[in-house]
Amino acid sequence: GQNIDQPTEMTATEGAIVQINCTYQTSGFNGLFWYQQHAGEAPTFLSYNVLDGLEEKGRFSSFLSRSKGYSYLLLKELQMKDSASYLCAVMDSNYQLIWGAGTKLIIKP
């Protein structure tokens, strides 16, 4: 079966760095997405990785290792507004998105 695993909840301090991990097992791979979702709102796109390595975009970076079925989202210089759920999703061989359950990130002052 297809499976996406990520931690349920994480807590970090304002100004610090946090890494959210995601491991996956899917039928085929056409890229991995990270989305941010604030409570009561729809997800917003953060990043897309299809090749191994690190993609940096401002305070957020995303890493992918296809051989290990592993990705992480790195958030630097955390701000209170970064408190949200972070969803990992993998596009399978049929171009369908397989979603993880999301990681709720709590930022403390």
Q: Which two tokens stand for residue 53?
A: 């390595």
Please state the closest distance from residue 74 (CB atom) to other proteins, in A.
20
| Footprint on this chain of other proteins (rule: CB under 8 A) | 30-31, 33, 35, 40-45, 48, 50, 87, 91, 95-97, 99-102
77-96 per-residue burial string, b: 16 or more CB within 10 A, e: under 16: ebeeebbbbbbbbbbbeeee
Residues facing 74 on adjacent strands: 19, 61
Could you give the CA distance from residue 46 to residue 109 in angstroms, rounded to a whole number? 24
Nearer to other proteins, 5 or 74 (CB): 5
Nearer to other proteins, 40 or 58 (CB): 40
Please state the closest distance from residue 91 (CB atom) to other proteins, in A.
6
Please state the closest distance from residue 15 (CB atom) to other proteins, in A.
27
